[in-house]
Amino acid sequence: MASEIKQGTLELVNHLPILQVITPMLIAPLLVVLNNKTLSWLLSFLGTLACLFISILLIQGVSDGSILTYYLGGWVPPIGIEYRIDAANAILLFLISIISVIVLIFSYSSLHAEIPEEKHTLFYSCFLLCLTGLLGVVATADIFNVFVFLEISSLSTYVLVAQGAYLDRRALSASFNYLIMGTIGATFFVIGIGYIYMATGSLNMMDIAERASQLGDNRTIQAGFAFIVVGMGLKLAMVPLHIWLPNAYTFAPTVVTCFLAATATKVALYVLIRFVFSVFNYEDNFVNELFFLLLMPLAVIAMIAASVIAIFKQNLKKLLAYSSLAQIGYMLLGLSLMSQKGLASSLVHMVNHGFTKAALFMSLGAFMLNTKNVYIKSLRGLGKSMPFTSAAFVIGGLSLIGVPGTAGFISKWLLLEATLETGYWLVAILIIASSLFAVIYIWKIIEVLYFSECSESYSEVSVLTLIPIWILALFCVFLGINTSLTVDVANMATEILFK
Amino acid sequence: MVSKEEKIKNETMKHHLILKVITKFMVGVIVLFGLYVQFHGDYSPGGGFQAGVIIAAAFILYGIVMGLENVQKVMPIWFAQKAAAVGVLVYALTGFFSIIFGFEFLNYHAISPEHPKHGQHYGIILVELGVGITVTFVMIAIYYSFAGRTPRLDDKEW
């Protein structure tokens, strides 16, 4: 501790990395104290807008390749907790913040249909805590801090998923499953952190990387890494550990499903990426073999199997949940190629798939406002009575398939390029096969929407519900045409990670 | 006709005179000990977490012996909920205080820039207070939400 008198010298702009995380953390308890339904929506909306603004400033700050650091409490790392923003996490902070803003606009007009009014304040408070957790995981450079924020986000996620019980009691068992699996994952993760701390005596990512490189081939660190891969595998729904995801996504309120599908699994994948490249040595034989022999086959199985299962699902939320598993397979595949292009495709796909899946789930939520359920048969002929929602759904679906001109195309193209560059022809063929399965299940829905007789006539949902859906749909198109936000930032991020 | 809940209540209230007298005496002592642990947390073992659990234990003991209605007269559910949030606010605002005065988040130098050591001292006390408040009332709220469910079996039916 510095003993001399120190004057406060930091400007507000220096505080951006921490403000990003603590703005929602400050508002969450405030909502509970004020306990006013309208005010709590307004405050959370303003809070997330502030987060979005901060994340844009952060992207600008790191766009020249620089790294923003922040020492919590003025304690210098490795003793203190350090926040460290580079291109890789700035893009994810942006994704999480913008999705939270859009989801909150959607919740204003749709939440009352899924959650009783008296619970709205607590719901928004929980939502903001979840947001705090996700942002914190991404921003921090301290591995124990990662665990703490991961638990903040997970615990509030369990509560948010359980809120679906108002419409369907099965949400409770889905949430409980998620709780058990998520807690096992967190336990594995923290055991891994324990092993790393045992071997290196440090919790700061940069410091660990430095100390571990001096240790060479260390069995303790390898065991720690294996634990972390399994723990994060549970959180990101890597295929044999995915069992919690379909039910959690299906029975959670639509607002929650949108938010989780677009952010939560991506954040877990980000943690894995961060550990592989910033904490461990990605050139290490052990890491490479683990990814080549274990994660790549699992990713390919996820791509194919989950897509095939999705084709046969009648509940559309469940169908999209299985499709999410397949998409997570793409991202894992990009990572497990262990090449710059592969990692870049993985990062780009995180963002693109985030927008795509959010658009799809949100338009399902709009259908649900009218039809009360999302079984494929109840969507008959909605293309005529709800033209705008259906059109947005189609755009999202095209992006999910990867049609040129949409966001999905960009990331799938990059992934194909990366696999061909590494020479895995078979994997490239399987990626295309998986996309064809996506064509089947999306076409199945489009056929019902546009080419079946309308059983009942519904009116289009309100403009306020359509706005967030169309923002997301337009993002799907925009990111397919203008790639400066995604591909360029991802390339810069991989430069930093691979140095 | 006595309802099931009332029956259970009467059963638990009838005997246990010694327990009730001792509880009334102990509650105060436990809270006092909790406060001791709370305010010595900055330079001896203890702190917000431990103190919070100890103080909550006093209320939970009172609830177990005297019945849920009686403890909720002292500590209503809404109060426990809001107070838990206030604790987090105390913590977060301590951090924001430093930011406003140009220091890092949670840098306690900001509280007393001329005497950084005093600043550290006060800062820890404030943060621990926030932790203590939150832990106390979250523990109580957890107890309420479990105890508030009517049991499927009463003692006699076992």
CA of B25, closest CA in chain A: separation in Å? 33
Q: What are phi and psi of B54, to 5 degrees?
A: -65, -45
Furthest-apart CA pair in chain B: how many Å? Answer: 71
Contact check, Cβ <8 Å, B99/A30: no
> What is the band of B120 on the pLDDT scale with cuts at 50, 70, 90?
confident
Q: Using a CB-CB distance cutoff of 8 angstroms, which residues of chain A are in contact with residue B92? A: 22, 25-26, 29
The pLDDT value given to residue A21: 94
Closest CA to A400 of A488, A306, A487: A306
CA distances from B77 to A34, A413, B130, B139, B142 (A): 16, 56, 19, 12, 10
Decide if A85 is inside a domain: no
Q: Per-residue pLDDT tens for A182-215?
A: 999 999 999 999 999 999 999 999 999 999 888 8
The pLDDT value given to residue B44: 80
For Cα atoms B17, B18, B20, give the angle at the middle one, nearest 5 degrees.
Answer: 65
pTM here? 0.93
Decide if A311 is inside a domain: yes
| Strand-pair category, A68-71 with A82-85 | antiparallel
Tell me the Cα Rg of chain A.
22
**Rounded to whole angstroms, how far apart are CA atoms A187 and A255?**
28
Write the burial class of residue A75 (CB in 10 Å: 0-12 exposed, 13-18 middle, 19+ buried). middle
**Rounded to whole angstroms, how far apart are CA atoms A96 and A262?**
8
Closest CA to A178 of A240, A241, A126, A224: A241
Chain Cα centroid distance, residue A45? 20
Q: Are A35 and B82 in contact (CB under 8 A)?
A: yes
Decide if A138 is inside a domain: no
Q: What is the mean pLDDT of residues A391-399?
A: 95
> What is the band of A217 on the pLDDT scale with cuts at 50, 70, 90?
confident
**Rounded to whole angstroms, how far apart are CA atoms A107 and B75?**
33
Q: Using a CB-CB distance cutoff of 8 angstroms, which residues of chain A are in contact with residue B109? A: 6, 8, 74
Structure tokens at A490: 């991802």
CA of B104, closest CA in chain A: separation in Å? 5
* Segments forming the whole domain that contains residue A457: 299-499
Structure tokens at B150: 């009517």
Decide if A181 is inside a domain: no
**Rounded to whole angstroms, how far apart are CA atoms A322 and A317?**
9
Decide if A396 is inside a domain: yes
Concatenating the DSSP letter of every residue in A323-357 gives HHHHHHHHHHHHHHT-SHHHHHHHHHHHHHHHHHH
Structure tokens at A162: 């359980």
Question: Which of the pair, A11 or B141, is modelled with greater confidence?
Answer: B141
**Rounded to whole angstroms, how far apart are CA atoms A76 and A451?**
64
CA of B37, closest CA in chain A: separation in Å? 24
Q: Using a CB-CB distance cutoff of 8 angstroms, which residues of chain B are in contact with residue A32? A: 81-82, 84-85
Q: Are B128 and B48 in contact (CB under 8 A)?
A: yes
pLDDT at A179 over 90: yes
Helices (H) and strands (E) in chain A, counts: 21, 2
The residue type of A77 is P
Q: Using a CB-CB distance cutoff of 8 angstroms, which residues of chain B are in contact with residue A8? A: 98, 101-103, 109-110, 113
Decide if A496 is inside a domain: yes
CA of A385, closest CA in chain B: separation in Å? 45
Closest CA to A65 of A96, A93, A90: A90
Q: B82 at the A interface (CB within 8 A)? A: yes
**Rounded to whole angstroms, how far apart are CA atoms A53 and A49?**
6
- Tell me the sheet residues that pair with A83: A70, A140
Number of structural domains found in chain A:
1
Most confident of A152-156, B17-21, B63-67: A152-156
pLDDT at B149 over 80: no
Decide if A36 is inside a domain: no
- Between the two ends of chain A, the Cα-to-Cα distance in Å is 33
Phi-psi region of A368 (alpha: psi -120 to 50; beta: other; left: phi over 0): alpha
Chain Cα centroid distance, residue A25? 19
In chain A, pLDDT over 70 holds for what percent of residues? 98
Structure tokens at A384: 């005529």
pLDDT at A403 over 50: yes
Closest CA to A299 of A237, A230, A225: A237
Q: What are phi and psi of A270, to 5 degrees?
A: -60, -45
The residue type of A294 is L
Q: What are phi and psi of A475, to 5 degrees?
A: -60, -40
Q: Which residues contact B25 (CB under 8 A, 6 or more apart)?
A: none
Q: Which residues contact A188 (CB under 8 A, 6 or more apart)?
A: A227, A228, A230, A231, A234
Decide if A152 is inside a domain: no
The residue type of A8 is G
Q: Per-residue pLDDT tens for B56-94?
A: 999 999 999 988 888 999 999 999 999 999 999 999 999
pLDDT at B3 over 90: no
pLDDT at A3 over 50: no
